[in-house]
């Protein structure tokens, strides 16, 4: 039996520049962090030759090609496993459609567990690259690359996406107390709104290709990623919050569906009660509202937003890792 643990993530600035519609024309950049909310993947040998996959439903099939779960199907093909396997998953918090990068976290964690099951270890770069291959190339999802890389590497990272398809992952360099103050100042609130990231990202990619104004907006967001890196290096947390705010205003204009009237109203209410900046996590449209505010204003903000549910979290310095390995799991 193999168990992998892979972190979900929060994206701060630059999201959208990791889409090929942008970075194939000019480099993209984001700042993201892994958080201590995880998806656990368990892989175990089955007595018979069937494949059993349990997620929101359970599939029991005779061959890989029969699997309806496309991420599991393509991961098994890539690793070269044909049968006699059981795959299950558990998430710390409901993650689908909430903007925490759960699809990529799942794919990275699944690959990590499957490689260990076949007595191989895969490094972070390989896990991220192959997760991108599965999600974007094999499954045709209109998504970017940041989620796969932050899930594989963990930590607080400045990630660059280059026209030649290479990706550079650079840790944010800042004092430990800066990192602690940043974590203490962040507030994550669940809106209860679900959305399809694929629909929003598809519109955004189309707009980026056809509208030079959208391309220019993403170019400014790449600049915001650099500004956040500098703000954290100089312990400027208020500056971080201000850039977060500017990035959200820019992001809202990239595609319809990124924000909604009730989201805008919640955000303005939060700003009126002490939030310096914020954003809807992920592609937008729902899920979690992330805010940055002095910790002493958090209670006031939560009281002003009684319809939203605060969810505590911390940063995770590690990416996908194996937390349980039983020998002779694969023969």
Least confident span in 182-186, 210-214, 272-276: 210-214
Q: Which two tokens stand for residue 117?
A: 């099951």
Residue 274 is encoded by which pair of tokens? 């002490």
Tell me: the pLDDT tens digits for 56-72? Answer: 999 999 999 999 999 99
pLDDT of the residue at 248: 94
Which residue in the block uniquely carries the two structure tokens 């955004």? Answer: 204
Contact 36, 10 (CB under 8 A): no
| CA distances from residue 35 to 6, 181, 182 in whole angstroms, order as listed | 10, 15, 13
> Mind listing the pLDDT tens digit for each residue in 291-315?
999 999 999 999 999 999 999 999 9
Percent of the chain with pLDDT over 90: 82
Taking the CB of residue 243, how many other CB atoms lie within 10 A of it?
27
Residue with structure tokens 């990202």?
Answer: 201
Rounded Cα distance, 92 and 283, in Å: 21
Write the pLDDT tens digit of every residue in 227-260.
999 999 999 999 999 999 999 999 888 766 677 8
Q: Which pLDDT belongs to residue 331? A: 46
Contact partners, residue 138, CB within 8 Å, separation at least 6:
70, 74
Complete domains list, the chain, with CATH: 2-173+316-325 (3.30.230.10), 176-310 (3.30.70.890)
Query: In the predicted model, what is the mean pLDDT of residues 154-165?
Result: 98
What is the total residue count of the chain?
Answer: 331
Instruction: Categorize the per-residue pLDDT at 200 as very low, low, confident or very high, splitting at 50, 70 and 90.
Output: low
Tell me the average pLDDT across 251-277: 88
Q: Which two tokens stand for residue 251?
A: 């992001």
pLDDT at 330: 42
Q: pLDDT tens digits, residue range 90-138?
A: 999 876 778 899 999 999 999 999 999 999 999 999 999 999 999 999 9
The per-residue pLDDT for 24 is 95
Computed over every residue of the chain, the mean pLDDT equals 93
pLDDT, average across residues 37-43: 98
What mean pLDDT is predicted for residues 310-324? Answer: 98
Q: What is the mean pLDDT of residues 166-190?
A: 98
* Per-residue model confidence (pLDDT) at position 287: 87
What pTM does this model have?
0.93
Rounded to the nearest 10 degrees, the angle between the axes of helix 102-117 and helix 124-132 is 120
Task: Note the pLDDT of residue 98.
Answer: 82
Q: What is the CA radius of gyration of the chain?
A: 20
């Amino acid at each position: 039996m193999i168990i992998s643990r892979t972190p979900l993530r929060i994206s701060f600035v630059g999201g959208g520049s990791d889409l090929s519609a942008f970075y194939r024309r000019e480099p993209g950049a984001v700042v993201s962090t892994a958080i201590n909310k995880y998806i656990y993947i368990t892989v175990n040998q089955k007595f018979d030759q069937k494949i059993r996959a349990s997620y929101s439903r359970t599939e029991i099939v005779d061959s890989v090609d029969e699997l309806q779960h496309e991420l599991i199907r393509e991961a098994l093909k890539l690793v070269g496993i044909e049968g006699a396997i059981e795959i299950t998953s558990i998430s710390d918090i409901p993650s689908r459609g909430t903007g925490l990068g759960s699809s990529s976290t799942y794919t990275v964690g699944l690959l990590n567990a499957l490689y260990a099951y076949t007595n191989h270890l895969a490094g972070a770069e390989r896990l991220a690259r192959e997760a991108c291959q599965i999600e974007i190339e094999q499954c045709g999802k209109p998504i970017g690359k940041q989620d796969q890389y932050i899930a594989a590497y963990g930590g607080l990272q400045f990630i660059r996406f280059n026209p030649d398809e290479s990706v550079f992952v650079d840790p944010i360099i800042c004092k430990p107390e800066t990192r602690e103050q940043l974590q203490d100042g962040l507030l994550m609130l669940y809106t209860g709104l679900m959305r399809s990231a694929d629909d929003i990202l598809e519109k955004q990619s189309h707009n980026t290709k056809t509208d030079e104004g959208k391309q220019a907006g993403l170019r400014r967001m790449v600049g915001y990623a650099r500004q956040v890196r500098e703000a954290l290096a100089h312990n400027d947390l208020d500056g971080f919050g201000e850039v977060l705010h500017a990035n959200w205003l820019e992001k809202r204009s990239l595609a319809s569906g990124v924000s909604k009237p009730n989201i805008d109203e919640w955000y303005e209410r939060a700003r009126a009660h002490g939030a310096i900046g914020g954003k809807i996590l992920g592609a937008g449209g729902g899920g979690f509202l992330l805010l940055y505010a002095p910790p002493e204003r958090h209670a006031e903000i939560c009281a002003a937003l009684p319809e939203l549910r605060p969810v505590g979290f911390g940063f995770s310095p590690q990416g996908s890792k194996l937390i349980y390995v039983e020998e002779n799991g694969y023969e």
